[in-house]
Amino acid sequence: MDIDLEPGKYVVAVSGGVDSVVLLDLLSKKADMELVVAHFDHGIRAESPEDCRFVQTLAKDYSLLFEYAEGRLGSDASEAKARETRYNFLNKILKKHQARAIVTAHHEDDALETAVINLLRGTGRKGLSALASSSTIKRPLLQISKQDIIKYARDHSLKWREDTTNQEEVYLRNYIRRQLLPRFSEQDKHQLLNIIDSAKINNKELDNLLYNELRQYSENGNLNKSWFKELPHGIALEVMAAWLREQNIRDFDSRTLDRLVVAAKMARPGQKFDVLKGVTMRVGKTNLALQAPER
């Protein structure tokens, strides 16, 4: 099992589970690589302080720097909230140590789960390829199955912690992991992975086309209203999504997109509509503008 990462300094997200323990072991064996172990205690489970101590000891065993923070989110915290606070922490550590990127232990099975989740949520074409590496987040295990990760851990006598919330099917991801994906044959999984890979390529090409159009019909971040109103509804949804992402607004769903497209085409000038996290869309006479929340 090999990891393809360029030499440099990286922040490694380590929860203490088998995936991140294997990732850390693999990275520790690579030359010309400086690692910072980062652990975020969400404060969701009673045993989470033990996870933190386990990861701290692990970092010490590898003679690596250790960073951690506590979220205190509570047992009713959503997956989205947990993810948001975790990545806020990881990005702070990234900046603090001036590292090249954050490295996470997402693997092949995670990519399948994420694709199914996003299909169910109606996130469209982008949802299929949502779990991928980027300039600031590296996911070198995406081609490795969970089965192979566990085999590596056992073959190398690694120790890890089990997250008890992984058994709770109240979380959509756990339900998909425990109830849906086990019904997939190996051929089904292989076919879905091929679809995900194709989506990554197609999405990149489509995004380039969309952003070229946006550059022609937007100015200072504002979108040309007359041009937008003439777009077919399906294309308008894609343009709206690209516009929001260009303004660093993400985590929206299909309902939000549909609502904003209808508002952009039908609303009177001067009207405002909620987008996400306090951001509003203002419909003007000639353009559409996004306004950040007042501080």
Beta bridge partners of 102: 11, 137
Same-domain status, 65 and 22? yes
Strand order in the sheet with 101-103: 65-70, 33-41, 8-13, 101-103, 137-138
Whether pLDDT at 83 is above 90:
no
Residue 199 lies in a domain: no
Residue 23 lies in a domain: yes
Same-domain status, 174 and 226? no
Residue 36 lies in a domain: yes
Q: Are 33 and 5 in contact (CB under 8 A)?
A: yes
What's the pLDDT tens digit per position in 244-286? 988 888 878 888 999 999 999 999 999 999 998 889 999 999 9
Whether pLDDT at 166 is above 80:
no
Which pLDDT score, from 0 to 100, does residue 18 have? Answer: 97
Total-model pTM: 0.80
Same-domain status, 131 and 17? yes
Same-domain status, 67 and 151? yes
CATH no. for residue 277?
A: 3.30.465.60
Q: State the average pLDDT for the chain.
A: 91
User: Final residue of a domain: which of 183, 201, 231?
Assistant: 183
Of 84, 11, 12, nearest to 42 by C-alpha is 84
Same-domain status, 229 and 125? no
d(CA 206, CA 53): 45
Residue 196 lies in a domain: no
Which pLDDT score, from 0 to 100, does residue 152 have? Answer: 97
The terminus-to-terminus CA distance of the chain in angstroms comes to 49
Same-domain status, 271 and 178? no
Same-domain status, 146 and 275? no
Least confident range of 17-21, 84-88, 115-119: 115-119
What's the pLDDT tens digit per position in 128-140? 888 888 899 999 9
Same-domain status, 167 and 224? no
Residue 208 lies in a domain: no
CATH no. for residue 65?
A: 3.40.50.620
Three-state SS letters, the chain: CCCCCCCEEEEEECCCCHHHHHHHHHHHCCCCEEEEEEEEECCCCCCHHHHHHHHHHHHHHCCCEEEEEECCCCCCCCHHHHHHHHHHHHHHHHHHCCCCEEECCCEHHHHHHHHHHHHHHCCCHHHHCCCCCCCCEECCECCCCHHHHHHHHHHCCCCCCCCHHHHCCCCHHHHHHHHHHHHCCHHHHHHHHHHHHHHHHHHHHHHHHHHHHHHHCEECCEEEHHHHHCCCHHHHHHHHHHHHHHCCCCCCCHHHHHHHHHHHHHCCCCCEEEEECCEEEEECCCEEEEECCCC
What's the pLDDT tens digit per position in 35-48? 999 999 988 777 88
Same-domain status, 178 and 95? yes
> How many domains would you assign to the chain?
2
Domain with 39, as residue range(s), is 8-183
Same-domain status, 19 and 138? yes
**Range 62-90 average pLDDT:** 86
d(CA 281, CA 229): 15
Residue 200 lies in a domain: no
Residue 41 lies in a domain: yes
Same-domain status, 175 and 231? no
Residue 202 lies in a domain: no
Same-domain status, 90 and 173? yes
